[in-house]
């Protein structure tokens, strides 16, 4: 069963507007972490933001915030005030934080294009 | 304060040749993870190593693929007798411990099999 689902293969946003990238996940673990990574056309994976399953507050990092809704098993990324440099692929990922969890599970990604 | 270093950035191999991908973790990091990204897909876990030990290789193909992380030197992902389907981006990540947070990825090696 797919652990991470990103249903938006491509998104467009006007420069300076906000955009939400969707991510839903599936796990029976009690303790897990949710992550977002950015992959620009140059190919590297850049860590953006992290949310722990027991964190009560939604994570924020500058223009990035994570809209965490545990009951709905969703962890959407919100980018405020979009910039042209935000155009990239965005991957949602989950990691089991128990002693047995060794790997990240990644979604298939969302391609974001910021329009000037 | 270098990040995770992977080389080469691009590697072209003919079918049947061997590919060696290198990963130098961040200074002080003793845990290394390899992931593969096929075109149009997210990253898929391959193997997790600590110095001189393979901890979890549940994502490694059973044949032709091997990984090591020796006491000295970089971690090596080795693919023998490459086939076209091995063409992908291979990412390495490292962490200081088997901790709860995220880890730092390298820039990847793009393997093309011709």
A29-52 confidence digits (pLDDT tens)? 888 899 999 999 988 889 999 999
Contacts of A4 in chain B (CB under 8 A): 42
Residues B105, B94: Cα–Cα separation, whole Å = 7
Which residue do the tokens 């845990």 mark? B31
Burial of B54 (0-12, 13-18, 19+ CB in 10 A): middle
- pLDDT tier, A2 (very low <50, low <70, confident <90, very high otherwise): low
Mutation target vs A (from B3, B7, B42; most A CBs, 10 A cutoff): B42
CA of residue B90 relative to chain centroid, distance: 6
B7 inside 8 A of chain A by CB: no
pLDDT at B104: 82
Sign, Cα dihedral of A114, A16, A109, B10: positive
Q: What number of C-beta contacts closer than 8 Å exist between A and B?
A: 59
φ and ψ of B89, to 5 deg: -100, 130
pLDDT at A58 over 60: yes
pLDDT at B33: 93
pLDDT at B28: 83
Q: Which residues contact A13 (CB under 8 A, 6 or more apart)?
A: A19, A79, A82, A112, A113, A114, A115
Q: Helix %, strand %, coil % for chain A, to 5?
A: 5, 50, 45
* Rg from Cα positions in chain B: 13
**Exposure pattern of A51-60 as b/e (b: 16+ CB <10 Å)?**
bbbeeeeebe
Q: Which residues contact B56 (CB under 8 A, 6 or more apart)?
A: A102, A103, B47, B48
Chain A window 94-113: which residues touch B at a Cβ cutoff of 8 Å? 95, 97, 102-109
User: Per-residue pLDDT tens for B51-110?
Assistant: 889 999 999 999 999 999 999 999 999 999 999 999 999 999 998 776 556 678 999 999
Closest by Cβ to A97, choosing from B89, B91, B100: B100
pLDDT at B41: 84
- pLDDT tier, A98 (very low <50, low <70, confident <90, very high otherwise): confident
Q: What is the DSSP letter of B91?
A: E
Contacts of A33 in chain B (CB under 8 A): 100-102
Above pLDDT 70, what percent of chain A?
96
Contacts of A106 in chain B (CB under 8 A): 42-44
Residues B91, B33: Cα–Cα separation, whole Å = 8
Contacts of A32 in chain B (CB under 8 A): none
A56 inside 8 A of chain B by CB: no
Chain B window 46-75: which residues touch A at a Cβ cutoff of 8 Å? 48, 55-56, 58-59
């Amino acid at each position: 069963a797919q652990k991470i689902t990103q249903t938006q293969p491509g998104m467009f946003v006007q420069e300076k507007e906000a955009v939400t990238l969707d991510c839903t996940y599936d796990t029976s673990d009690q303790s897990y972490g949710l992550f977002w990574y950015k992959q620009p056309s140059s190919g590297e994976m850049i860590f953006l933001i992290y949310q722990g399953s027991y964190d009560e507050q939604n994570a924020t990092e500058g223009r990035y915030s994570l809209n965490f809704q545990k009951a709905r098993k969703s962890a959407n990324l919100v980018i405020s005030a979009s910039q042209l440099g935000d155009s990239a692929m965005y991957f949602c990922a989950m990691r089991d934080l128990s002693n047995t969890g060794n790997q990240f599970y990644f979604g298939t990604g969302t391609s974001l294009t910021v329009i000037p | 304060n270098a990040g995770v270093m992977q080389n080469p950035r691009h590697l072209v191999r003919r079918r049947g040749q061997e590919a060696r991908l290198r990963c130098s973790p961040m200074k002080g990091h003793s845990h290394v993870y390899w992931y593969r990204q096929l075109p149009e897909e997210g990253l898929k876990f391959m193997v997790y190593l600590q110095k001189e030990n393979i901890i979890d290789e549940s994502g490694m193909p059973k044949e032709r693929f091997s990984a090591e992380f020796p006491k000295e030197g970089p971690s090596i992902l080795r693919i023998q007798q490459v086939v076209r389907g091995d063409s992908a981006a291979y990412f390495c990540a490292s962490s200081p411990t088997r901790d709860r947070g995220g880890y730092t990825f390298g820039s990847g090696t793009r393997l093309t099999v011709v």
